[in-house]
Chains A and B, each alone.
Chain A
């Protein structure tokens, strides 16, 4: 069974940094594009970033370019999201998801990031 388990969320001050992790199991991680999607409290979903199977390509939504970095460790089946220069508007539940083709077919349970002083 596919499992995606996020961790690393928490409370951080504006301007601070946080690194999220997503542990993948139940599928061949090295064959899958992976993505991060976020959801602000009471709001809709927003695609944040994705990364190719071998990590050679990564793409971001404009609002996080230059601040967030997606990466992966294929030896450990781990996906990461390094978030720097955090802003209040980055407050959200962050989900990792498997990204075959043009849809997101399996999602983790999410980890909450709160940016507040």
Chain B
């Protein structure tokens, strides 16, 4: 199984929106609604920000939103803030008790 495909980088100015894609295939992203997104600062542990494609864990601002269509999931960060500058990873259940991550996207706030 291959890693999910994410763009290596994305950027936006403060207040703008940025959308990150996460592309898989029919046996992972396309086959399940179990896509999650994680935010990671350098040297820190990842933090769950979206689960089941579009649900928020407690405490995560609704500036972060998720969606899924077919084999592609997306994370949108609205009202971009300086603190949103981080790496973002998607993850999907891939069947047979296996999980995949994307390669990660570095978001830069211009």
Question: Which residues of A are at the interface with B, using a C-beta cutoff of 8 A?
Answer: 35, 37, 44-47, 50, 57, 59, 61-62, 95, 101-110
A32 to B98, CA, bound (A): 17
User: CB distance B34 to A108 under 8 Å?
Assistant: no
A108 to B45, CA, bound (A): 7
User: CB distance A102 to B101 under 8 Å?
Assistant: no
User: CB distance A59 to B34 under 8 Å?
Assistant: no
B contact residues around A62 at 8 Å (CB):
1
- Knowing A101-B51, A102-B32, A102-B51, the reply to whether A45 touches B45 (Cβ < 8 A) is no
Q: Does B65 contact A (CB under 8 A)?
A: no
B92 closest partner in A (C-beta): A102
User: CB distance B34 to A110 under 8 Å?
Assistant: no
Q: Does B74 contact A (CB under 8 A)?
A: no
B contact residues around A103 at 8 Å (CB):
34, 36, 48, 51-52, 91
| Chain A nearest Cβ from B91, distance in angstroms | 7
Question: Which residues of B are at the interface with A, using a C-beta cutoff of 8 A?
Answer: 1, 3, 32, 34, 36, 38, 44-48, 51-52, 57, 89, 91, 93, 97-104
User: CB distance A44 to B103 under 8 Å?
Assistant: yes
| Chain A nearest Cβ from B39, distance in angstroms | 11
Across the interface, B89 reaches (CB within 8 A) one of A44, A59, A101, A102, namely A44
User: CB distance B98 to A107 under 8 Å?
Assistant: no
A57 to B103, CA, bound (A): 28
A58 to B91, CA, bound (A): 19
User: CB distance B45 to A104 under 8 Å?
Assistant: no
User: CB distance B45 to A110 under 8 Å?
Assistant: yes
A contact residues around B57 at 8 Å (CB):
105
B contact residues around A102 at 8 Å (CB):
32, 34, 36, 51-52, 93, 99
- Knowing A104-B91, A109-B45, the reply to whether A47 touches B51 (Cβ < 8 A) is no
User: CB distance A59 to B98 under 8 Å?
Assistant: yes
A2 to B104, CA, bound (A): 25
A contact residues around B46 at 8 Å (CB):
37, 45, 95, 104, 107
